[in-house]
Every structure is written in C-alpha cells, then in structure tokens.
Structure 1
Amino acid sequence: MSDPSLSIVDGGTRRLPQGTWCDLFERQARRTPSRRCLVTGETSWTFRELDVWSDRLARVLRDAGAVPGSVVACGMTRSVRAVLGVLATAKTGAVQLPIDPVSPVARVDAILGDARPAVVLTDAASLASRADVVLSDEDWEAELARRDGHRLPRGAAGPAYIIYTSGSTGAPKGVMVGHRSLVNLYGELADRFFPASRGPQRVAHGLPLSFDASWNPLSWLAGGHELHLVPDSARMDPESYVDFVREHRLSVVEAVPAQMSALLAAGLLDGRSRPRLLLMGGEAIGQELWSQLREAPDVTAVNLYGPTECTVFTTACRLDERATPSIGRPIGNTAARVVDEDLRPVPIGEPGELLISGSCLALGYLGSPELTADRFVTAGERRYRTGDRCRLAVDGRLEWLGRLDDQVKIRGHRVEPGETEHALLGLPGVRQAVVRAEGAEPRLVAYVVLGTSSLAEVRERLRAVLPTYLLPAAVIPVEAMPLGPNGKIDRTALAPFVPAPSASVLTPEQALVAAAFRVQLGIPAVDADSDFFALGGHSLSAAALAARLRARGVPCSLRDVLLRRTVARLAELVPTLAKGASTWTTTT
C-alpha cells in the first residue's frame, strides 16, 4: 500500500472494450447505419456510407502494399478524404502516419525517410510526386466505387499511429501509439464525457489533422456522435469559426487555450445557440481564461493534459471543480506520481517531475530503443518521464509548474528550441546560433553570428526547412557569442530581446496601427516597417489585431493582416473617420 502522504494518484480501473478503435467504429456503424456521422463542407455521410467507402479505400491501400504492421503515410487536405484515410489505414491493419501536406519539403523528406512507409496516400498536389495512392478531386469517388467493399483481415492489434514531434537533436522523433491506448482514451470519453441521455452530439473538429489531439474528435465519431470538420477558411479565423459553430449548432468544441480565448472574444458563448462542452489542451491555461469559463453559465469546460507519449490526454480537470488552474487527476487505468531526481515520490505539495504509468502509455519511439529506454523507465512498472514540473495539491489534483528543460508549447505545438537551432546551424552563412524561448507568451528568439549570409537570406532559408511554429519570432545578429569558463556558449549571458524604440516619425494613421501592434504583441515599440509576424504574431493574434483595428473604425480583416504585414501597409486602410485618432488605450 502506498503512503498517502506521498504524491501518488490513481485514476482507477476501467474495463476496456475488446478490439481496436476501428472495431469500435464498425460496431457503431452496425448499430446505427443510417445515422449521420460526418459532415465536411457540402458532404454529409452516414455511418454505413463511411464504413463502406473506407473498406473500399482499404482495398486500394492493400493492393498498393499496406499490410498489417506496415506504415501508411497519410498526407491529406482537410476534407472527407482525411477521415477516410484514417479509417482505411486502420482497416488494413497498418499504422497511420499523418503528414501535413503544407510542411516544408525537407521536413516531409526527413519524416518519410525515418518512418519508411510502405504506402504514401495523399490528395494534395504538393505530395503527389511522392505518393503511391493519389485521391484527386476529379475521380476519387468513381475510382473507389469500382472497388470491392468487403472487409479485409487485419491481424493482431499493434501500433495504431505514429506522431512526429520536435526533437532536441534537430531531427523529429516518431512516437508509436498502440490500439489499446486509443481504446483506453475512448473508454474515458465514453464514461466521463459522452452525454448519458441527450443523444448524439454535434462535435467540432477544428484541430490540425497532423496533431495527436485530432484523435479526440475521432473518438467521439466512434462513439456514435456527429463529427463536423471545420474548414481551413474558418479554423484560424475566430469570427468565422464562431459562425460555423452557430450555423451547424455544434455542442462540443475543442481548442488550445489561446484559440479558445479568441473564440470567446468572438462571441462563442453569446446567444442561445452555443456549445455546451468546451475541451482545452495543448498548453497551459492562464487564470484569466480559467475564471472566465468557470463563470460561464450552462457550459462545462474541461482542461486536458497529456504528452504525445501518453495518448492525447492522461489527466483532466473540470474548471468548475477548482478556482485556480489545474491539470486534474489521471484518467482510468492510469496513475501519476511526482518524483525527485532519483524517481522517488515526493511529499504532497512538493514540486517534482511528473511520471505517468498505465494503459495510456505509447509503445515507444520508432527506431530509437535508447531514447525509449531513457524516457520510458521501468521501476516495478513501466512509466513515462514527462519532463514536466508538477506538484500534487492537497485536494488530490495536479498542478503544472512548467518544464524541467527548455521545451515549450507555442500555439499548442510542442517545440524544442534545439530543433530550430539545429536548422539554423545547418544553413550556409551561419557560424553560430542559439535559440531560446522568451516572454510570458513564449516565442522563439534566435541569436546568430553571421558569415556570408544576410539576415533576410537566413530568414528565407529557414522558412524552407521549418514549419511555421518552429520559426523564430526574431533573428538577432551578434558579433560573437558570450562564452563561459568552460569555453561553451553562455546562453544566460545573452540579453533578452527587446525591440528598439522607433527612430522614425509615424503619421497619425501609422501611429494608430502601431499602437495596436504594441498592445496585441505586448512590446514597447514598433516603427513603420515593423512586420507583425516577425515580431511574434501568428494567425490567432492576427485575427485579434484585425478585431482591435475594426473597433477603432478601420475596415481590417484577417486576410488584410496576412497580406499587409507591416504598420505602414495596414495604415493605408485607415479611413478618414479614424485618421484623427493617434492614441490608444493600453487596457484590454
């Protein structure tokens, strides 16, 4: 029996359904064949239709070489074909590897080279040259309609999918997640989240398809609920997203906290037609958002926590259970403990590293037994070292205190600054580079010693090899890196980046826009040529900037901010009625 004064908490035992996630979906399709299950754009499919069409695509994949245990890379656009690809891969018994078709070529090549898929499936032109099966817009339905829809033999359940995360060595690493972990996730959702009596829910799927959290809404689908795939045109624009939720009368919405905050500002909970369940994960929730959602009437909000290695989420906390942010308690068939450097549980209330054990654990890292052994330790039972600093409060709930290393979450993505640093060091004309996360809302800042390249060339080359969330918000040239006594770079001696005060004189129109930049980004100064995205802006904060400007009478949309990135270009939109206003209130 464990000592009750130590930081150990158990999620209890739950009996799991037999089979795989795919088996769960097929059973649901037999129970409710005519119920609508998937809505994407103008397309609406029943459970029977999705089941039959995914069987047909499974035949195509099997003919192309997808056998049980092999890897199928799915580089799909945001359409019904993306969900078909997930189901069809599972129906062959193969392992799904999601690929973002807009990722830089170098990153895609690195992932494909490491995973060595037997089949590459895509409907995106950017990946067509690498693909074995291409579902083009013109003829994919006609092609599948000719295929046999009988079910394939799948063999024993093993890995379900592989998700590549940022790696500190510069190379992404593939996390292998098993079918039993997915079924355990489904069991948690079914027991604690699926409504007991209100019938099928309409669930928003607004998460990136290459994100491991995308398995949450897919689990709702397997549970008999109606999944609505939020289109790209609405997904990153809070106002359009809210319109989509209202139009389709969606009752369940999941988002990272930064996006959820933007959705609330856009009116997500205004009026009668609003979601009843809000799920958040991917990064820490601040007190302001926590309190705002606790006070919202007739809404259940839940904070979900879990590394990729623990299958989407492994602890949960309803916001109405606690006045301050918490990651809650473990899900079923899972245990958590907070330990010291020797992996011994610490007393309740003391900080330490969070270790997770149980059915949620991934199988390990693809092709990396040493890394697997380092992160998945065995001490009586198999446990994952999260690298997260936590403490167990006296109420039995866990509090997240940050990272033990320099890994951070940026807009929901787990980011190793070392991967960006490695990419910089691999560029021609860069002699030295240090990358670290800075600021209350973390953003990557790169410090470089340049050789023959200019800053503009470095930024352009970096965009060609890294996805957006790994790009530094600022690249700062330095004459030389500070060194410590051992001759290594002293990272702590680099002064945090602060934008220099503007030396230029702004017009009243530019001053209005510049003030909006400062408030939105939380920085002291910008000038006419300041680029919103180079200063750390992203698509969500761009939508918020557009809303700020509209509130001051400037007809500005998200598209305007994306196309007119600088203060000067956006100031061209300032109409006569706003041109007299050159001051800005700094309260929000």
Structure 2
Amino acid sequence: MSDPAPSLVHGTRRRLPHVTWCDLFEYRARRTPDRVCLVADEVAWTFRELDRWGDRLAQVLGDAGAVPGTVVACAMTRSVRAVLGVLATAKAGAAHLPIDPAQPAARVDAILTDACPAVVLTDVASLAARADVLLSVEDWRKELAGRDGPRLPRTAKGPAYLIYTSGSTGQPKGVLVGHRSLVNLYGELAGRFFPAGHGPQRVAHGLPLVFDASWNPLSWLAGGHELHLVPDSVRADPGSYVDFVREHRLSVVEAVPAQMSALLDAGLLDGPARPRLLLMGGEAIGQDLWSHLRGAAEVTAVNLYGPTECTVFTTSCGLGERATPSIGRPIGNTTAQVVDEDLRPVPIGEPGELLISGSCLALGYLGRPGLTADRFVTTGERGYRTGDRCRLMADGHLEWLGRLDDQVKIRGHRVEPGEVEQALLASPGVRQAAVRVEGAEPRLVAYVVLDTGTAARLRERLRALLPAYLLPSAVIPLDAMPLGPTGKIDRAALAPPVTVRRTVVLTSPQELVASAFRVQLEIPAVDADSDFFDLGGHSLSAAALAVRLRTLGVPCSLRDVLLRRTVARLAELVPTTTKGATPSWTTTT
C-alpha cells in the first residue's frame, strides 16, 4: 500500500544575487586575470585575454544593433570564436542564440525567421546570404583590434539565452531562459560540484555548442576553472577523446550516457590518469552503465536530469547514492512534485507527471503565449509540466519512468516524431506518413504511403531538410496505413511489410562485416551494399562498430567506417588470415 503523503520534494534554498553569468565571469577575471581559463585552437587563454577580446566583440555587436532585450544568433564553428560569441553577447546585454551552421539551410532559415535576431554573428562565409543583418568574424583578431571602449549597459532582469527544440507542429520552438535561472544553475554547480580548496579543475567541453547543456562547462569557466574545448574531430572518436583527456589531464568530463559508454569502452578510466568527476545527462541511463560507474574507484559519477524549459538540469543524483538509476533530488531553489492529469499531488511511490517549480524555470516560449500558458501553469506557484512520467520514492529520490507523450531523446537530442512527420507530409509524392520510435537504442522509423517517387529518394530529400538526429533510420513504404476504430492511423499496428525472401550470397569477409552490422544496429539482415548510416548508424555507433571489427581481427578505424560505409567496402579491410577457408556465406532477408 502506497504512502498517502504527497509526492513533493524541495531543493536547498539559496539566496540568488541579482547578477548575470557575465558578471560572474568578469568578477573572476578581476580576481585571477593571469590564470588560464580557456584552452581552444591549441592556444591557452587567460581570463584577462578572454575578457578583453569579449569586450571588443561586444562593442562590435552593440554597433550592429545588439542591445538589452534583443537576440544575437551565433552560427559559429567549434573554436574560441564560439566562446567569444557567448561572452560578447552577454556583455552586450543581449540573449544568445546558438545555431549549428552545419544544419540544413531550411532549418537555419526557419530558426532565424522565428527568432528575428538583431545580429547574426558567424565565421562561416556560406551563411552570409541568409540574414539581413550579418556580422562576420572570420579574421577576428584583425577585425576586433583596437575596438576598446566603455562597457555596455546590461540588466539581470532580461533573457540570457534562446535555444530551439524540436516542435510537434513541424516547426522548432524557441525556449527563452532568463539570467536568474542561469545564475541559479551556476550556484548549484558551485555549491555541489566545484571542488572546495583543491584549486581550479581542468574541464572538458565536449558537448555540442547548440545544446543548452553547454552552459554547464561555461559555468565552470565562470567559476574560475580551466575549460578545454574538445575539437569536433576528437569528439566524434571515443579513442581520440580519451587520448585528449589524458594529454590535457582533464578532471571533469560531461557527456550523454551513450557517449560516456563509448568513452568507457575506449579506456577512459583505465590507468591512473583518470577524470575525478563524470557528469551525464540528456537521456536515461541504463542499469549496466549505472552499476559500472558505481563500482569505479576514485571517480564520482552524477546523473543530471532536466528539460530545456528548466535551465539545463533540474535534479541530480550521485550514482553512489542508489543501486538503481534515479534522477535524484531537485537542485537549489527548486521544487519537484509528482501530479496526476489534474495537477493534484499523487502519493509517494505512485507514478504521475513531474511538475517543476522554482528559480530554474525558463521565461517561456518565444512568441508563443498559448503554448507558454499550457506548459507553464500556476498551482500556488508557477510550475512547468515536464511531460515526464516519474514517481517519488520513500527515500526522497525521483525515478524517471518515461514520457507521457511520444517525445524521446535520441543521442542526447530531444526529438518529437511529429516534426519528422510534418517534413514527410510536406514532401512531394507523400500521401500519408507516420513516424515511430523503435529499437532498444531509440531510432526513428518512418512509414509512408507514396503516390510517386521512392523511399530512397524521399530519405535523400529529408537529409537536405533535417539535422542528422532527426533523420529516420528507415523509410518504409506501405500500400496503406493501418487504421483504428476512429479512422486515425493505428500506430501500434505499424510494422514493416512482409517481403519475399531472397537469397543473398556474401563472401566470407563480407559476412564477417555483415554480422557486426547486424549486432551493432540490432537488425535482422543486411547485404553487401547495405550502408551503415542509411541503416541508422551515427558517429557513436560507428566508433563502436570500428571497435567491434577490431576485436574480430579487422584493422578498422572510425575514419574507415566513415569513408567505407557499406559491407562490401569495409570487407576489403579484412586480412587474408581472418577471411577463413569458407569461400561464401548464404543468408536470407
């Protein structure tokens, strides 16, 4: 019988100063001007240097129209310029909007149209024609030299950043986050994670710059620690990432659980030069990873949970606190409550929707008052309906039980299948479309009824419209959609069509590679021309495939998987001694 007490738990209350993240950084720069604060592009930057260049870029942004209350869109490559963009935007008093310049042009245009930034800051020449107001800083040292001037006015009452998430209507939606909640996040990191009396730590920034979670390592920077920006080429290869951590003697590493697993497989905790603190968030942690890290010596691992609307992370749980996965307890100045569909508290131990309130809450959705009112509700105090199904246990820890809707995390990105459906339905020749999440490692599978065209051509069109994490791993054509009693598509009945079994003859080395494909991607059959990425592979699983093939005696690197995408091409790497005596294998699909 469940405890009748309501499922309510509070984080520690702290007094918040009326300052901005930028104020915190500038305070640190005054106290320790000559301390190294950022290592990027193979250059070590002191607080004084970064502060000065940030001031100069802020002057340029101000001249271009960035004032308090406006938005500065930063479409920057992964370099010191991206960090300067964050700092300079804050110094100008504007809200920072990160944009991945590698995204399809259509998505970049949609975000810029919705956000209406006063300035678009970029170091990518190809973006120059996509905005009315553009500021290029490709040759930034020359362009910013001599731009010293008085610091621009700013306030702690306005927005700090704007970040776009997947939208169920097919359009991305912007979440506007204020300085108060960002400073509250800093206070949590400073109070719980910044080491006391042990000097500055070396912190890895290996998160995508368009993630709201990238504010975690930036907060370590503002706290006086040394931030190391992990290059894109290193981030994509777990082995290279581990080498980077060792070479730079990094003590703090944050990653989504899937990437953390790949780093552990690559030897992150092998040997004495290991990180002291591992932070994970963005998706659920499995029991195997939880148990592995609980047993790791001299390492503290922490699970972080939080929707974008609650400023990066809202609850946290040290893996040493519980034997089974948990999202833990609320951070400071935050309350978590488990409620029913009428927002009434449910008893301890019973499942319900997680409702978050307190200083962590975002300001709302940009230009969407109706959606803001629907998700940010008032029940005594303002709260955010997360849509996450949780329960509060008797020990005060929250357990995450899944989504109440079909929104999922795929490789750390929050994804709503409805956005992919809208892109499919907007494509020529598509009569009907439905997208489901399938597989133990979540992947999107699209089902379509086509009037014209092919599934292969449709997927190629999506590649030009959607970022990689929104691309379906498979597009399956159907003669007709299964329908339920109301005439709506019966999503539970969706399944690949029954096909005629055909014999596929693979050579011995091809079968060795094909078996690795099947195990890694959890699919029943492949042939010689099967493309790993068209089947749903991504950078992390590609790195895992390379490791899997090496254990089978194949000298395969991540670069090989990226360049030799098919079974047949990768099979060319199989050594003669590994190929065996059997000339061919027979399989069926």
* Range class of TM-score, shorter chain: over 0.9
Asked if structure 2 preserves the Cα contact closer than 8 Å seen for 1:434 and 1:491, the reply is: yes
In 1, Cα distance between the equivalents of 2:227 and 2:292? 27
Deviates more, 1:142-151 or 1:369-378: 142-151
The alpha-carbon distance between structure 1 residues 148 and 130, as it changes in their structure 2 partners (threshold 3 A), is: farther
2:73 aligned counterpart, secondary structure: strand
Distance in 2 of aligned mates of 1:293 and 1:22: 34
Tell me which residue corresponds to 2:114. 114
Partner of 1:64: 64
8 Å contact 2:39–2:229 — kept in the other structure?
yes
- Residues 500 and 436 of structure 1: is their aligned pair in 2 closer, same or farther, counting only changes over 3 Å? farther
- Is the counterpart of residue 150 in structure 1 residue 150 in structure 2? yes
> What's the CA shift for 1:18?
3.1
Q: Is the 8 A contact 2:20 2:155 kept in 1?
A: no
Aligned counterpart, 2:394:
394
Q: Does 1:468 align with 2:468?
A: yes
| 1:477 partner amino acid | P
Q: Paired residue for 2:447?
A: 447
- Cα distance, 1:275 vs structure 2: 0.5
Q: Using the alignment, how far apart are the partners of 1:185 and 1:554 within structure 2?
A: 46
Distance of 1:48 and 1:357 partners within structure 2: 37
Shift of 1:41: 2.4
Q: 1:581 to 1:471 in 2, by over 3 A?
A: farther
Equivalent position SS for 2:424: helix
Unaligned runs of 5+ in 1: none
For the 8 Å contact 1:8–1:337, the answer to whether it is kept is: yes
**1:56 and 1:150 in contact (8 A); partners too:** no
Aligned counterpart, 1:89? 89
- Tell me how far 1:581 sits from its aligned partner: 8.0
Show the counterpart of 1:556.
556
Look up the match of 1:185: 185
1:21 is aligned to 2:21: yes
Q: Distance in 2 between matches of 1:414 and 1:58?
A: 31
Q: Distance in 1 between matches of 2:321 and 2:524?
A: 38
Post-superposition Cα deviations, 1:209-265, rounded to whole Å, max 9, x if no partner, equal: 000000000000000000000000100110000010001000000000000000000
Per-residue CA shift, 1:394-447, capped at 9, x if unaligned? 111000000000001000000000000100000111111001101121100000
Kept in 1, the 8 Å contact 2:7–2:392? The answer is yes
Which residue identity does 1:320 align to in structure 2?
G
Q: What's the counterpart of residue 576 of structure 1? A: 576
- How far does the alpha carbon of each residue in 1:167-222 deviate from its partner, in whole angstroms, 9 at most, with x for none? 01100000000000000000000000000021000000000000000000000000
Alpha carbons of structure 1 residues 424 and 291: separation in structure 2 relative to 1, 3 Å? same
Structure 2 residue 290 is matched with structure 1 residue 290: yes
Flag the 1:134–1:482 CA change in 2: closer, same or farther, 3 A.
Answer: same
Structure 1 residues 468-511: Cα deviation after superposition (integer angstroms, max 9, x where no partner): 00000000000011122222222222126899976201100001
1:530 aligned partner: 530
- Structure 2 CA distance, aligned partners of 1:293 and 1:102? 34
Post-superposition CA distance 1:539-585 (Å, at most 9, x none): 0010010111112221211111112111111111112121118899x
Alpha-carbon distance in 1 for matches of 2:499, 2:172: 31
User: What secondary structure is seen at the aligned counterpart in 1 of 2:394?
Assistant: coil
User: Which one-letter code corresponds to 1:88 in the other structure?
Assistant: A
Q: Give the Cα–Cα distance (whole angstroms) in 2 for the partners of residues 498 and 149 of structure 1.
A: 70
1:263-412 superposed matches below 5 A: 263-412=263-412
The one-letter code sitting in structure 2 at the alignment partner of 1:288 is: D
**Equivalent in the alignment of 2:167:** 167
Q: Which moved more, 1:500-509 or 1:214-223?
A: 500-509
User: Does structure 2 retain, via aligned residues, the 8 Å contact 1:501–1:526?
Assistant: no
Please report how far the alpha carbon of residue 146 of structure 1 lies from its aligned counterpart in structure 2 after TM superposition: 2.1
* Secondary structure at the counterpart of residue 505 of structure 1: strand
Q: Which residue of 1 aligns with 2:214?
A: 214
| Whole-Å separation in 1 of the counterparts to 2:42 and 2:229 | 11
Which shows bigger deviation, 455-464 or 215-224? 455-464
Q: For the residues of structure 1 that align with 2:372 and 2:171, how far apart are their CA atoms?
A: 15
Aligned counterparts of 2:184 and 2:499: Cα–Cα separation in 1: 48
Corresponding residue for residue 232 of structure 1:
232
Taking structure 2 as the reference length, what is the TM-score of the superposition? Answer: 0.96
For the 8 Å contact 1:501–1:525, the answer to whether it is kept is: no
**Distance (whole Å) between structure 2 residues aligned to residue 188 and residue 466 of structure 1:** 35
Give the residue type in structure 1 aligned to 2:57.
Answer: L
Closer, same or farther in 2 for the Cα pair 1:28/1:425, shift >3 Å? same
CA deviation string 1:58-96 (max 9, x = no partner): 000011111111110000100000000001001111111
Cα separation, 1, equivalents of 2:196 and 2:548: 41
Aligned-partner Cα distance in 2 for 1:364–1:176: 6
Please tell me the residue identity of whatever aligns with 2:150.
H
- 8 Å CA contact 1:174–1:365 kept in 2: the answer is yes
Look up the equivalent residue of 2:195 and give its one-letter code. Answer: P
Aligned AA (2:287): Q
Instruction: Tell me which residue corresponds to 1:103.
Output: 103
Q: Structure 1 counterpart of 2:288, which letter?
A: E
SS at match of 2:386: strand
> Does the 8 A contact of 1:102 with 1:126 survive in 2?
no
How many percent identity over aligned positions?
Answer: 81
d(CA) in 2 for partners of 1:445, 1:418: 12
Whole-angstrom distance in 2 between the partners of 1:535 and 1:519: 12
Q: 2: distance between equivalents of 1:498 and 1:264?
A: 39
* Superposition RMSD in Å: 1.7
8 Å Cα contact 2:513/2:549 also seen in 1: yes
Q: What is residue 10 of structure 2 aligned with on the other side?
A: 10
Alignment of 1:251-262 (within 5 A): 251-262=251-262
Whether the 8 Å contact between 1:474 and 1:536 is mirrored in structure 2 is yes
Query: What is residue 247 of structure 1 aligned with on the other side?
Result: 247
Kept in 1: contact 2:156–2:179 (CA 8 A):
no
Output the CA distance in 2 between the equivalents of 1:471 and 1:223. 38
1:196 counterpart residue number:
196
User: Structure 2: which 5+ residue stretches go unaligned?
Assistant: none
Q: Secondary structure at the match of 1:343?
A: coil
Shift of 1:120: 0.3
Contact 1:512/1:581 (8 A) holds in 2: no
Distance of 1:136 and 1:359 partners within structure 2: 35
Letter in 2 for 1:570: L
Q: Structure 1 residues 20, 500: CA separation in 2 closer, same or farther (over 3 Å shift)?
A: farther
CA deviation profile, 1:12-37 (whole Å, cap 9, x unmatched):
21112331111000000000000000
- Greater shift, 500-509 or 486-495, is seen at 500-509
Q: 1:498 to 1:133 in 2, by over 3 A?
A: farther
Could you list the per-position Cα deviations for residues 290-348 of structure 1 after superposition, in whole angstroms to 9, with x for gaps in the alignment?
A: 00000000000000000000000000000001000000000000000001111111111
TM-score, normalized by length of structure 1?
A: 0.96
Worse overlay, 122-131 or 499-508: 499-508
Q: What letter corresponds to residue 541 of structure 1 in structure 2?
A: S
Return the letter of the residue paired with 2:419.
E
SS at match of 1:5: strand
C-alpha distance in structure 2 between counterparts of 1:161 and 1:195, whole Å: 27
Q: CA deviation at 1:523?
A: 2.1
Q: CA deviation at 1:155?
A: 3.8
Q: Measure the CA separation in 1 of the matches of 2:331 and 2:251.
A: 23
Distance change in 2, residues 1:96/1:499 (3 Å): farther
Conservation of the 8 A alpha-carbon contact between 2:328 and 2:397: yes
Q: How far is 1:284 from its partner?
A: 0.1
Q: Is the 8 A contact 2:121 2:137 kept in 1?
A: no
> Which moves more between the two structures, 441-450 or 121-130?
121-130
